[in-house]
Structure formats: C-alpha cells, structure tokens
Amino acid sequence: MNKKMAGVALAAALVSPPAWADPTVITACQTISQSGSYVVANNIEMGGSGTCLTITTNDVTINLAGFSVVGRNSAILALGSTPQVPLHGITVRNGYVSSLNGPAVTLIDAVGSVVEGVHASSLEGGGIAAGGIIRGNVVSAIEVFSPGTGIAVGGIVTDNFVSGFGIGIFAGGTVRGNVAINNSVGIEVGAGSTAIANSATGNTKSGIQADCPANLTDNTAVGNGTNLVLNGTDCHNEDNVAP
C-alpha cells in the first residue's frame, strides 16, 4: 500500500465508529454474558420466579432508556463466578426497576458498580444493593415500612431520594446530599463513614444514626423519632440541625 492509500485508510478508520459502538438491544429477560453496552427497548417483566436480567461478565452498561424492568427475586442481578472473584465495570442507568422478593437492583457481586438515574421500587425486598456509586436515584417502597433497605452500599451514595423502608440508606463510605423520608431509620452509616448535607424527616425510629468514629457535617434531621443517634465515641458532629 502506498503512502496516499495508507493515509486514506487511516482517515477512514478515524472517522468511522467501530462496529462495537452500537449497543445491543434488550427486549426480554435474559442472561448477559458478553461485555458491552446494552439498551432496553420496551418494558420487560419476568413471567415466573427469578431475576429478569442477570449479568455474569465484566464491563457491562445497561441503559434502561426510560423503560421498566420487573423481576421476582431481583430485576437486575450481577453474579460473579464466586464471592472471591467479583465482577467489575457494571453500570445501570435511566429507567424503572422493581422486584417482589429481593432488592430491585443487586450489584453486590460487582466492585465499583454504578447505579444512576433509576427509580427503584419493591414490595418487600428493598431497592438498590451495590458496591460502588449510587447517585441521583428515587427509591421507594410500595408499602410503607417495607422490611427491606432502600439503598445498601459500600461506596458513595449521593443525591438520592429514599422513602418507605425499614432502613432508607445503609452505607459504609460517603453519604452526601440524600433525602430520607418516612422510613423506620432514615440514614445509617458505619464506622469510618462520612455523612454530609443529608436530610432526614418523618422517620419513625431515627433520622440519622452512625457508628463512631464517623464524620457528620451539615445534615438536617428533624421530625424523626430520634433525630440523631451516635453509637460509640469520637464521632465528628459539626453544624448538624438535629434538635
């Protein structure tokens, strides 16, 4: 190939998107065993018992595209080969999920997973369980004080709305800018965690509670059974509104 032809071929390669750039379309419940981007094209509901979308490989992004995915045990589940070999690179975004018996989105087998822009609801099992970043979601129970947990995560929880669960948010990590309303416990953080600029109102047992040492700054907890509960010593408690 001469230099001119090589230049034309290189230019074409730079302009033309690779074949794998287009997402794979999902129209029914299935197991996702190939890495890549996926987009949901219609509402999907699991006919019998089980999980609607099961992810068994790394580096998968699911765009719900505003549609709803409903499962019985979970709507979307990441399942590593063993607990010692977790998945990674899993993202779920932009749509609706619900489940009858388990958390609507269960990504605890995926390290650094991301769930964003999702409206999650469940009759009993909870909303989102993940190990990574949970941001900008609305998580609600269909029945008030469902025994499940709205968001359970070890990582970053930011800018979510949670309502109606036994525990609204249960987290070990950074919990920032969330709103927890009408749960039993609004927000509960583990030792070593940071809770900043969250709001908890109308939670019957407690608004915000922490296992010390933890950092709690600029949070508002009013109108709860007990507004602020600090278990242990050496919690950093500054500029919180929790009368």
CATH of the domain at 191: 2.160.20.10
Establish if 19 belongs to a structural domain.
Answer: no
Residue 19: the pLDDT is 47
In whole angstroms, what is the distance from residue 183 CA to residue 187 CA? Answer: 9
Is the predicted pLDDT of residue 12 greater than 50, yes or no? no
Establish if 39 belongs to a structural domain.
Answer: yes
Establish if 119 belongs to a structural domain.
Answer: yes
Residue 108: the pLDDT is 85
Establish if 101 belongs to a structural domain.
Answer: yes
Residue 242: which of 188, 201, 190, 182 has the closest Cα? 201
3-state secondary structure 70-95: EECCEEEEECCCECCECEECEEEEEE
> Domain containing 185: what range?
26-238
Q: Model-level pTM?
A: 0.88
Establish if 114 belongs to a structural domain.
Answer: yes
Question: Residue 33: pLDDT band by 50, 70, 90 thresholds?
Answer: very high
Question: Residue 84: pLDDT band by 50, 70, 90 thresholds?
Answer: low
Percent of the chain's residues with pLDDT above 90:
73
Establish if 205 belongs to a structural domain.
Answer: yes
Residue 219: which of 205, 208, 204, 231 has the closest Cα? 208
Establish if 6 belongs to a structural domain.
Answer: no
Establish if 216 belongs to a structural domain.
Answer: yes
Structure confidence by residue, pLDDT tens digits, 128-177: 999 899 999 999 987 665 678 999 988 999 999 999 999 999 999 999 99
Can you list the alpha helix ranges (DSSP code H) found in the chain? 3-15
Q: Tally the domains of the chain.
A: 1
